[in-house]
Amino acid sequence: MTALAPGSIGLATSDAARQVARRHRVGRAGLAVFQLSTIVGIVVLGALLYNIANEAAGLVAYEHKTDPAAVLPGGRDLAALSAPELAAVLTANLSPGEVATLEREAPLAERSQAELRRLVDERVLETHAAAAWNLTDSVLDRPAIEATVAERHPDADLRLTSWLSPAFVTAPQSGDAEYAGIRTAILGSLWVIVITMAVAVPVGVAAGIYLEEYADHTRWLNRAIQTNISNLAGVPSIIYGMLGLAVFVRALEPLSSGGAFGAADPTTANGRTILSAGLTMALLILPLIIINAQEAIRAVPSSLREASFGLGATRWQTIRHHVLPGALPGILTGTILAMSRAIGETAPLIVVGMSTYITFDPSSPFDKFTTLPGQIYQWTARPQPEFHHIAAAASVVLLVLLVALNASAIYGRNRAQVRY
Amino acid sequence: MTVALEAGPRARTARNGANPPMGGDNVLEARALHVYYGAFRAIENVTLPIARNRITAFIGPSGCGKSTMLRAFNRMNDLVPTARVEGDIVYRGQSIYAPGVDPVEVRRHIGMVFQKPNPFPKSIYDNVAWGARINGFRGTRRELDDLVEAALVQAALWDEVHDKLDQSGLSLSGGQQQRLCIARAIAVKPDVILMDEPCSALDPIATLRIEDLMQQLKERYTILIVTHNMQQAARASDYTAFFNMGDRRQGYLVEFGPTPELFTNPKDPRTEDYITGRFG
Ligand SMILES: Nc1ncnc2c1ncn2[C@@H]1O[C@H](COP(=O)(O)OP(=O)(O)OP(=O)(O)O)[C@@H](O)[C@H]1O
Ligand SMILES: [Mg+2]
């Protein structure tokens, strides 16, 4: 757009033209600020992703307790062996008892090559990582790394490894970073989020409906409730953790550890169960869901309510047939945001006693649990660098899980969209 | 507790869609009505009879309380938490503000069409059928189809939409949407229809169609209409009520009478000023 020169149209005094030019300058300055902010955001996001990817893969120097040449047929490389050959190696080198246990879990003959290779690595060769490098160094500095390995770990194989692998996602927890997986953490996260949403969404939406459609805003009690809910949304999550600890873990221990239902052995969990965690998280996101539901309900045009009442509909019929369908997309959007928040929260779960070392799959709300962010936190806190690599790999999984849940929720929201 | 609002056989015949005999009796009557929003008195001491099977128009300057007055007739003001009513409105011999009267029941008999067309974001069919469904329509799909068709025919919309009943009500033009809203109101078989400036969002052709429609509808229904359009009140209504605003912005009734009389021979000088456009 070109600024008009002073006097270029008869009507414009030079004062007015100068004024217009100044307004355009202000507008351009604003635009520049918005573009810059967007670029900063993109750079930060890129840095985050780079940082995670950089840690999640790279060169690893593997050392073996047992020399591969001694056990692998023909001194061949582990990766080159077929599944039956690997099964043979296992049967030849493990005790009959160990082989029987493995066969019971799943017959060796039916297991995949990757699975068998991992077993041979873990049980026969007793491979472990002696040193690991991040991806950037691995690509740019490979000769130097090779020299270091040759000098310090002369027996090690140097392999480019992705710490994130199908085995990492499906394996249970382990004390060795090379064999540790996040299955229990993923299942724990899913259990907690399901309980959280199952409690928080119905309660939050119902409270939102009450506050918007029924409560009389001229009464001080309702105004006080409203103010409190808005303030609760800003309370730090650790405080909710303390509340959850006091209420669900301690006071309601017989319920939260399932003893009252005769469900689990109450002595081990002591109330520090999936149920306690889910309820604590539900409290945490409840104010968000209520406030969001209220906003979504308020956005439904009042002309629709009037039309409905004008036909002799009751308040509930109006809510059920017009307000809720109209508010649904907005409610879903808020639910997505609240769910993302709940999946990523760590602090309150640490307070309510999330275990970090769980090797069995959680199978009921009364089980002890760990979650992905809890696992990541615990691994990053360890001194051994391999654990930092698997923490990065777990971060990738957490992000993928978040994106997947969000995508499905957005799909649902778009299908529910109403046009007025 | 709900007090049944069926004040006799006439109410029943009206709802069954039969043509009630034309007569000069009143369906509704406001008696010394005051309406407040909080401490603000929006309507002051209005007494006004509404003749059956006639069109009564409310005219007056903006903000004088015409909408408030209209909405008092089917208790729509109950939806405003601060609104309060003194005095009474009598519908077929029964007070609609008496304790125990359910406003839902009142609105079922006294339907409403709004200034801005507000179809539901549903299909044309469902827009018309919804009111019947929620009012406990117990009939076959076929009977519901007939009901929808009858309402659309009465609203002079059937010919335009009969082949696209499953399309969204929002896909229609403004004038068609307003006729859809009228069909929707008719489908619950009301006795009285309140219309708050139903043509103000429409072009002159669509406006004339709605006016024609009102002439047909008054055979079966009693119609109250708020309008800013003096010609509309003069051409389309049988009775006219002129409201004005007092020094505390309270609305009051200045003059009420048969439309030709009020427009040709107003008794009050303020009415004359208003209808001749000399109003300050
Ligand atoms: N919900 C409300 N709360 C408080 N005051 C209101 C409310 N609705 C209307 N009023 C006030 O009541 C008075 C009458 O309003 P009303 O809408 O009935 O006027 P009207 O005659 O219909 O005006 P218009 O011709 O502009 O539609 C106005 O002073 C208005 O400010
Ligand atoms: Mg009005």
CA B57 to centroid of chain Cα atoms = 10
Residue A357 lies in a domain: yes
Write down the pLDDT at residue B6: 43
Burial class (CB in 10 A: 0-12, 13-18, 19+), A11: exposed
Write down the pLDDT at residue A397: 93
> Does residue A76 sit in the same domain as residue A137?
no
Bridge partners for B56 per DSSP: B224, B239
pLDDT one-digit tens code per residue, A238-256? 999 999 999 998 888 888 8
pLDDT at residue B23 is higher than 60: no
pLDDT at residue B3 is higher than 50: no
Task: For residue A10, name the pLDDT band (cuts at 50, 70, 90).
Answer: low
- What number is the average pLDDT over the span B126-136? 92
* Closest chain A C-alpha to B82 CA, distance in angstroms: 8
CATH number of the domain that A378 lies in?
1.10.3720.10
Residues B222 and B52 sit within 8 Å (Cβ to Cβ): yes
> Does residue A199 sit in the same domain as residue A322?
yes
Residue A4 lies in a domain: no
Query: Which one is predicted more confidently, B133 or B4?
Result: B133
The pTM for the full model equals 0.82
pLDDT at residue B2 is higher than 70: no
Name the least confident of A10-14, A305-309, A311-315, B225-229.
Answer: A10-14
Q: DSSP code of A212?
A: I
Residue A12 lies in a domain: no
Contacts of A88 (CB under 8 A, 6+ apart): A73
- What number is the average pLDDT over the span B196-205? 87
> Does residue A77 sit in the same domain as residue A137?
no
Name the least confident of A107-121, B92-106, B258-272.
Answer: A107-121
pLDDT one-digit tens code per residue, A287-339? 999 999 999 999 999 999 999 999 999 999 999 999 999 999 999 989 988 99
How many angstroms separate the Cα of B148 from the Cα of each of A15, B17, B66? 64, 14, 31
pLDDT at residue A285 is higher than 60: yes
pLDDT one-digit tens code per residue, A130-154? 888 999 999 999 999 999 988 988 8
Residues A205 and B85: their CA atoms lie apart, in Å, by 33
- What number is the average pLDDT over the span B230-257? 93
Rg, C-alpha atoms of chain A: 29
Q: Which two tokens stand for residue A305?
A: 């309510």
Ligand with smallest separation from the Cα of B69: 1
Task: Verify whether the Cβ–Cβ distance A306 to B76 is below 8 Å.
Answer: yes
pLDDT one-digit tens code per residue, A40-53? 999 999 999 999 99
Which atom number of ligand 1 is nearest to the Cα of residue B249? Answer: 29
> Does residue A212 sit in the same domain as residue A138?
no
Q: C-alpha dihedral over A162, A164, A167, A171, to 10 degrees?
A: 140
Task: For residue A3, name the pLDDT band (cuts at 50, 70, 90).
Answer: low
φ/ψ of residue A216, rounded to 5? -90, 110
- Tell me if chain B has a CB within 8 Å of the CB of A301: yes
Which domains does chain B show, CATH number per domain?
26-118+192-275 (3.40.50.300)
Residue A114 lies in a domain: no
| Mutation target vs B (from A223, A311, A320, A417; most B CBs, 10 A cutoff) | A311
Q: Which two tokens stand for residue A32?
A: 């520049």
- What number is the average pLDDT over the span A59-63? 89
pLDDT one-digit tens code per residue, A185-203? 999 999 999 999 999 999 9
Q: How does the average pLDDT of chain A come out, rounded?
A: 87
* Closest chain B C-alpha to A415 CA, distance in angstroms: 14
Write down the pLDDT at residue A12: 61
Task: For residue A5, name the pLDDT band (cuts at 50, 70, 90).
Answer: low
Residue with tokens 């490979």: A142
Write down the pLDDT at residue B22: 40
Contacts of B183 (CB under 8 A, 6+ apart): B127, B128, B151, B152, B154, B155, B157
Share of chain B above pLDDT 70, in %: 91
pLDDT at residue A94 is higher than 60: yes
Long-range contacts made by residues A301-307, C-beta under 8 angstroms, separation at least 24? A301/A326, A301/A420, A301/B118, A303/B114, A303/B116, A303/B118, A304/A420, A304/B118, A304/B120, A304/B121, A305/B79, A306/B76, A306/B79, A306/B112, A306/B114, A306/B118, A307/B114, A307/B118, A307/B119, A307/B120, A307/B181, A307/B184
Name the least confident of A83-97, A203-217, B167-181.
Answer: A83-97
- Tell me if chain B has a CB within 8 Å of the CB of A419: yes
| Residue of A311, A313, A317 with shortest CB distance to B185 | A311
Q: Which of A55, A80, A96 is the last residue of a domain?
A: A96
Residues B99 and B85 sit within 8 Å (Cβ to Cβ): no
Return the H-helix or E-strand segment holding A159: strand A157-162
> Does residue A144 sit in the same domain as residue A241?
no
Which atom number of ligand 1 is nearest to the Cα of residue B197? Answer: 27
DSSP A160-200: EEES--HHHHHS---SSTTT---HHHHHHHHHHHHHHHHHH
How many angstroms separate the Cα of B86 from the Cα of each of A59, A117, A408, B31, B100? 85, 87, 54, 9, 16
Write down the pLDDT at residue A218: 79
Residues B254 and B276 sit within 8 Å (Cβ to Cβ): no
Q: Which of A77, A96, A115 is the last residue of a domain?
A: A96
The identity of residue B270, as a single letter, is R
Residues B80 and B263 sit within 8 Å (Cβ to Cβ): no
Residue A116 lies in a domain: no
- What number is the average pLDDT over the span B226-231? 92
Contacts of B160 (CB under 8 A, 6+ apart): B176
User: How are beta strands B94-95 and B110-113 bridged, if at all?
Assistant: unpaired
- Domain housing A153: 127-161
pLDDT at residue B16 is higher than 50: no
pLDDT at residue B244 is higher than 60: yes
- What number is the average pLDDT over the span A345-373? 85
Rg, C-alpha atoms of chain B: 19
- Tell me if chain A has a CB within 8 Å of the CB of B82: yes
HEC secondary structure over B102-118: CHHHHHHHEEEECCCCC
> Does residue A372 sit in the same domain as residue A405?
yes
> Does residue A273 sit in the same domain as residue A411?
yes
Residues B132 and A368: their CA atoms lie apart, in Å, by 54
DSSP A357-382: ---S---STTS----HHHHHHHHHTS
The identity of residue A368, as a single letter, is K
- What number is the average pLDDT over the span B29-35? 95
- What number is the average pLDDT over the span A396-418? 86
pLDDT at residue B13 is higher than 50: no
Write down the pLDDT at residue B278: 73
> Does residue A209 sit in the same domain as residue A72?
no
Write down the pLDDT at residue B11: 37
Residues B263 and B234 sit within 8 Å (Cβ to Cβ): yes
Write down the pLDDT at residue A286: 96
> Does residue A254 sit in the same domain as residue A146?
no
Pocket test for ligand 1, best of B43, B44, B67, B253 (most atoms within 8 A of CB): B67
Q: Which two tokens stand for residue A300?
A: 């439904």
> Does residue A252 sit in the same domain as residue A132?
no
Which atom number of ligand 1 is nearest to the Cα of residue B61? Answer: 25
CA diameter of chain A: 102
- What number is the average pLDDT over the span B138-165? 92
Residues B54 and B218 sit within 8 Å (Cβ to Cβ): yes
pLDDT at residue A407 is higher than 50: yes
Query: Which residue does chain A place closest to B74, by CA atoms?
Result: A310
- Tell me if chain B has a CB within 8 Å of the CB of A220: no
Q: Which of A96, A112, A146 is the last residue of a domain?
A: A96
| Residue of A217, A307, A314 with shortest CB distance to B120 | A307
Residue A35 lies in a domain: no
Query: Which residue does chain A place closest to B180, by CA atoms?
Result: A307
**Interface predicted TM-score (ipTM):** 0.88
Burial class (CB in 10 A: 0-12, 13-18, 19+), A239: middle
**Number of domains within chain A:** 3
Residue A251 lies in a domain: yes
> Does residue A77 sit in the same domain as residue A149?
no
Task: Verify whether the Cβ–Cβ distance A218 to B82 is below 8 Å.
Answer: yes
* CA-closest residue to ligand 1 atom 25: B62
Write down the pLDDT at residue A300: 94
How many angstroms separate the Cα of B118 from the Cα of each of A302, A305, A326? 10, 10, 14
- Tell me if chain B has a CB within 8 Å of the CB of A146: no
Residue with tokens 């007056």: B60
Pocket test for ligand 1, best of B68, B84, B248, B279 (most atoms within 8 A of CB): B68
Residues B32 and B72 sit within 8 Å (Cβ to Cβ): no
Share of chain A above pLDDT 70, in %: 94
> Does residue A276 sit in the same domain as residue A364?
yes
- What number is the average pLDDT over the span B20-26? 54
Number of A:B CB contacts under 8 A? 72
